Amino acid sequence: MSTYVDNFPEEAAIVRKAFYTSFVFLALGGVFGLIQTLHRTDFLRFMDSADYYTVLTAHGVFLVIAFTIFFLVGVFTWAVTTSLDRGLEDLRLTKLWFGLMSAGGLAAAITILSGFVGDAPILGALDADVLFTFYTPLEAHPLFYIGLVVFVIGTWVAGADWIRTWWSWRKDNPNERIPLPTFMVITTMIMWYIATLGVAIAIIVFILPWSLGLVESVNPLLTRTLFWYFGHPVVYFWLMPAYMMWYLLLPKLAGGRLFSDPLARVVFVLFLLLSTPVGIHHQYLDPGISEGFKFIAMTNTMFLLLPSFLTAFTVVASMEHGARQNGGTGYLSWLGALPWRDPAFTGMALAGLMFAAGGFSGMVNAGMNINYLVHNSLWVPGHFHLTVGTAVALTFMAGAYWFLPQLTGNKLWSRPLAVGQTVIWFIGMSFMSNAMHRAGLIGMPRRTAEPQYENFGFDAGVGSVAELDAQIALGGALLTVSLLLFFVVIAMTAFNGDSDYTESNSIPTPLSGPEDAPQVLDNLKLWTILAIVLVIIAYSLPLASIIDGRGLFGPGIEPFDPIPFSVVSTTLELTAEHVTGVIR
C-alpha cells in the first residue's frame, strides 16, 4: 500500500489547501489569544480596552469557526476517499465548496479585522465587534453575516460532495456495510445540516435584513435562542472529527486495532440524535424561557455524557491492546509500552486525557441550577479550552503530524520537537485552564477586557487574584511557544522534500468489526428522522412561547454598535504612540 498522496493526488492537494488555510487562522487566533491573556491580567496593555473585544471576536471566530472547520473538511475528505477507496465524484464540486468556504471566511475576517482601523473609504465602518456569538441587539456590518452564511453553505456543499461519493460507492457495493470512517463523516454531516438550520434562519430571516435596514427590529431572545440551537451542536461538529481520529488513527499509532466498530457507530448515532436538542442549556439564566424547557434541556444534556464515556472506554482499550501487542504487561506498566515518541500518538493521548477533565467541568455547566455559579464567568472559557482548545485543537495538531507526511510524501521534520510541542501545550493549558476555572468560581467574568473593578474585589480562596492572573498569563505564554513550535515543524515538514516517507495510508481492521454491528445502526434514514423529532420536541414549544410573547420581530429593538469609532483611537494609533513615546 502507499501513501495518500500516491493514491489520491488531487484530493491530497485539496486537503493540503484546507489544512494550510486552517493553520493560517490558527496562527492569527493564537496571537490574539496571547494578547488577551496579557491584557486582561494587566501584564501588558498596549491597546485601548475597547479593542480587546475586536481581538476577542477574532480569536473566537478564527479558531472555532475557521481553524476547526477548515481542518475537519480536510480530514473528512481523507476519510471518505480512503475508506471507500475511491476519489470524490466531481472535483469541480469540491473546488466550489472550498471556494465558498474561503470567500465566506475571508469576508467575515475582513469585517472583524476592520475593528482595528477606522472607517474604510466608501464602505464606511466594516466592523464586527460582536464576538463569536453575535447576540443582537449588538450589530455587525452586513458583510460579516453574509460571510458566515456563505461559509456555512460551503460546508453544506462539502457534505453533498461526500454523500454523493458514498452513494456512488453504494451502487457499486450494494450489500456492504458503510465503512466506519465514511459512516462517521455522514452522521456528522447530517447532524450539521440539522444544526445549522437554526443559525441560518437567525441570520437570513432576522439579523441580516435588520443590519441592512430592511426590518426595523429583532427579537433578541429569539435570535439568541436560534443561535444556541446551533451553538451547542457546533461543538460536536468539532469533536466528532477528533473522535474519528481517536477511533481510527490512535489505535493504529498505538500499534493495535480499534476495540469495537459497532460501539463506534453507536457513539456517532448518539451524537446525531442528542447534539441539537440541548441548546437551551446555554440559556439557563435567560428570562423569557420557562423552567420546564430548561429542565428538559438539562436531562438531554446529561445523556450526552454517554457517547463520551463509551469513547473513553474504546480508546483506552484500543491503546491497551496496542501496548500489549508491543510487549506491554501488568495492570499499569503497559502504559510505558505505548509509542510516546510518536507526536501524533502523544498529542492525541494527552488531548483525550484533558478532555475527561473538560467533560466534567461541562457537567457542572449542564447542572441547571449549579450553572448560576459559573455562567459567563471565567470558568466557562476554562472549560472550553480543555475541550475545543485541547481535545480538538491538540488532536488536530497531533493529527497533522501524521496527515502531513501522508499528504506530501515528506517525512515529519523533528519528531522530538513535535513531541515537545504537544507536551508544552498540555502544560500550558493545565496552568491556564486551572486558573480560569478557579477565577470563575470566585466570580471573575469572562469576555471582559479589564476584570478589575473600582468598588469591589474578588475573594480568592487559595492564593490571590494576582496569582491567578499570573497563572493565566504563564499558561498563555506557554501555549504560544507551543504554537510556534507547531508551525516550525509543519513548515519544515512541508519543505522536507528529499525525505522518503513510505508509511501506508491504511486503517487496520477493528477487533470487533462491522459484521458485528446490528444492521439498524446503518439505517441513517431512521436516525435522521429520530434526530429531527427530538429537535422538534425540544424546540417547538420554547420557540412558540418566545414568538408568542414578544413577537417575531420584537418590541422595537434597534441595532447597537458595540464600539463606535468616535469613542476610541484605533489600535494602530495607540500602538504607534506606545512604541514611539509620542502622545498626540
Partner 1 sequence: MRVSKAGLMVLLAFVVPLTVELRTVLAWFNVELTVLESVLVGLAVIAAIVVWATRPPKDEPSAASQ
Partner 2 sequence: MNIHTYEKFWLIGAMVLIVAFIATVTYGAAGLGIAMVDDEGGTIAPDEIGDHDKFGDPGVHQVGENEYDVYVHAYTFGYSPDTIEIPENSEVTFYVTSSDVTHSFTVVGTNVNTMVIPGEIAEITAQFDEPEEYGILCNEYCGFGHHDMEAELHVVPETEFDLTELAVDAPDEVDTDDQAQVTASVTNGMLEDLDTTVTLEIGNETVEEDVTVAGDSSEDVTFAVDASTLGDGDHDWTVTVDDYTESDQLTVGTDDDGDSDDGDTTEEE
Span from 171-179, 206-214, 328-336, 513-521 in contact with partner 1 (CB under 8 A):
328-336
341 lines the binding site for partner 1 (CB under 8 A): yes
119 phi and psi angles, rounded to 5 deg: -65, 140
Single out the residue of 214, 462, 567, 583 in contact with partner 1 (rule: CB under 8 A). 462
Residue 486 burial (10 A CB sphere; 0-12, 13-18, 19+):
buried
Q: Which is nearer to partner 2, 22 or 377 (CB)?
A: 377
Would you tell me the crossing angle of helices 524-550 and 180-201 to the nearest 10 degrees?
20
568 lines the binding site for partner 2 (CB under 8 A): yes
Q: Which is nearer to partner 2, 468 or 489 (CB)?
A: 468
Cite the beta strand spans of 22-88 per DSSP E: none
Each residue 11-50 as x (binds partner 2 by CB under 8 A) or -, in order, gives --------------------------------------xx
445 phi and psi angles, rounded to 5 deg: -80, 160
Single out the residue of 555, 579, 582, 583 in contact with partner 2 (rule: CB under 8 A). 555
Record the cell numbers describing residue 473, joined without a space: 498569563
Q: Which is nearer to partner 2, 98 or 228 (CB)?
A: 228
Question: Residues 190 to 219: which contact partner 2 by CB under 8 A?
Answer: 219
- Cβ(133)–Cβ(91) under 8 Å? no
Single out the residue of 456, 462, 498, 580 in contact with partner 2 (rule: CB under 8 A). 456
Neighbours of 341 (CB within 10 A): 11
- Which of the choices partner 1, partner 2, none does residue 283 contact, using the CB cut-off of 5 to 8 A by kind? partner 2
The CB-of-437 to partner 1 minimum distance in angstroms stands at 10
CA nearest neighbour of 163 among 94, 99, 104: 94
Question: Residues 265 to 294: which contact partner 2 by CB under 8 A?
Answer: 283-291, 294
Q: Which is nearer to partner 2, 21 or 308 (CB)?
A: 308
The CB-of-161 to partner 2 minimum distance in angstroms stands at 32
342 lines the binding site for partner 1 (CB under 8 A): yes
CA separation for the pair 345, 353 (Å, rounded) = 12
336 lines the binding site for partner 1 (CB under 8 A): yes
Which residues are tagged catalytic? Answer: 232, 236, 383-385, 446-447
Q: What is the CA radius of gyration of the chain?
A: 24
CA separation for the pair 567, 215 (Å, rounded) = 27
CA separation for the pair 220, 554 (Å, rounded) = 7
CA separation for the pair 176, 515 (Å, rounded) = 9
Question: Is residue 560 classed as helix, strand or coil in its secondary structure?
Answer: strand
Neighbours of 333 (CB within 10 A): 10
432 phi and psi angles, rounded to 5 deg: -65, -45
445 lines the binding site for partner 2 (CB under 8 A): yes
373 lines the binding site for partner 1 (CB under 8 A): no
Single out the residue of 9, 99, 124, 327 in contact with partner 1 (rule: CB under 8 A). 327
55 lines the binding site for partner 2 (CB under 8 A): no
Task: Spell out the residues 6+ positions from residue 538 whose beta carbon is closer than 8 angstroms to its own.
Answer: 276, 277, 278, 279, 280, 293, 296, 297, 300
The one-character DSSP state at 562 is S
Q: Which is nearer to partner 2, 6 or 573 (CB)?
A: 573
Question: Residues 494 to 523: which contact partner 2 by CB under 8 A?
Answer: 512, 516-518
Residue with cell 483506552: 316
Each residue 377-416 as x (binds partner 1 by CB under 8 A) or -, in order, gives ---------------------------------------x
- Which of the choices partner 2, partner 1, none does residue 431 contact, using the CB cut-off of 5 to 8 A by kind? partner 1
CA nearest neighbour of 252 among 326, 166, 183: 326
350 lines the binding site for partner 1 (CB under 8 A): yes
Span from 101-109, 293-301, 461-469, 531-539 in contact with partner 1 (CB under 8 A):
461-469
313 lines the binding site for partner 2 (CB under 8 A): yes
CA separation for the pair 163, 408 (Å, rounded) = 26
Q: Which is nearer to partner 2, 154 or 510 (CB)?
A: 510
**Residues of this chain that bind partner 1 (CB under 8 A):** 255, 323, 326-330, 333-342, 346, 349-350, 357, 416, 419-420, 423, 426-427, 430-431, 434, 438, 461-463, 467, 471
